[in-house]
Amino acid sequence: MNILLCRTVIKECCISASLPKTEANWQYVINDLKTIEHLIQSIHMDATLYTESDAHPNCKVTAMQCFLLELRVILHESKNATIYEIIENLTMLANSNLSSIENKTELGCKECEELEEKSIKEFLKSFVHIVQMFINTS
C-alpha cells in the first residue's frame, strides 16, 4: 500500500515538474481565483469592482496590477479568513511571476479607475482571462 502511495506522489510530482515554473504558478493563481469565486458565492457578496474585460496583450501587466489592487476590495468586503489567506497567496504568486517579466512601461493602457465596474463574478472571469494571457506567452 505504501508503494502505491509513493508511486502516486511521484507521478504527481513528475506532472507538475514538467510545467515551466512560471506557467505552473499562473495555474495556481487560476485555481485560487476559482476557490475565491466559490467562497464568494457562499457568503453572498455583491460588490462591484473595476474590471478590465478586453485588455490588449501589450497592456496585460497594467491590467494584472489593477486586478491585484481590486482583490484588496474583496479582502476588505468579505472579512473572511479563508479568502484573506487565498488572496495573500495569490498576490504573492502573481507578483513573483510579474517580477520575472522585463520592467517595461506599457503605454496607452487604461488606469484602474477608467475601467468599468462589474460584478465579482465578471471580475473573476476576466481575471482568469488575463492570467491565461500570461500562460499563453510564457
What domains lie within the chain, and their CATH numbers?
30-136 (1.20.1250.70)
pLDDT at 98: 86
Residues in the chain: 138
- Residue-wise pLDDT tens digits, 12-50: 333 334 444 556 789 999 999 999 999 998 888 888 999
The Cα 82–Cα 24 span in angstroms is 22
Nine-digit cell string for 89:
497567496
pLDDT at 22: 59
